[in-house]
Amino acid sequence: MESQNYIELKKLEIYQLSRQLSTIAWRLFCRFDFLDKKHIGDQFLRSVDSVGANIAEGYGRFHYLDKVRFYYNARASHFEAFTHWLELLLEREKISKEEFDTISSKASILQIKLNNFITITTKKGRESHDKPS
């Protein structure tokens, strides 16, 4: 019997947002030439995809500390992708300012929601761990 509080991974908002950003990153990557793909595109794509992958892996873990560890990894990949690589793509004129703003807006929403998700997961995990048997 499933818990009433269980949400499927694909219905989890942070996962949906991470997948949307991965789709956008893939479309950008596909239009880069070989050199851009090799030097910047690959790193950008890997870090963006890593956000969703770490959310998925954490969500599949049982213990809250395991979950949170992967959510922290997702947050670090988010920072790498959208603070470092995305800014370099704009700086090197590989994406337009409009594309940058659109992606940054979605990424900011994901960052807030991911931080909240980490906080909630930690709080609920501690509460259930501290309950007397």
Q: What is the pLDDT along the chain (133 residues), one digit of tens a residue?
A: 345 577 899 999 999 999 999 999 999 999 999 999 999 999 999 999 999 999 999 999 999 999 999 999 999 999 999 999 999 999 999 999 999 999 999 999 999 999 999 999 999 999 887 766 5
Q: What is the pLDDT of residue 128?
A: 85
Q: What is the pLDDT of residue 6?
A: 79
Coil vs helix vs strand at 97: helix
* CB burial of residue 107 (10 Å; 0-12, 13-18, 19+): buried
Locus of tokens 């694909």: 10
Q: State how far the Cα of 129 lies from the Cα of 87, in Å rounded to an integer.
A: 41
Q: For the chain, first and last CA: distance in Å? A: 22
Q: What is the pLDDT of residue 132?
A: 62
Q: State how far the Cα of 90 lies from the Cα of 99, in Å rounded to an integer.
A: 9
Model pTM? 0.91
DSSP one-letter string for 89-132: HHHTTSS-HHHHHHHHHHHHHHHHHHHHHHHHHHHHHHHHHHS-
Query: DSSP strand E in 8-111: where?
Result: none
Q: What is the pLDDT of residue 133?
A: 57
Q: State how far the Cα of 124 lies from the Cα of 49, in Å rounded to an integer.
A: 27
Nearest to 77 by CA among 53, 42, 103, 95: 53
Domains of the chain: 12-127 (1.20.1440.60)
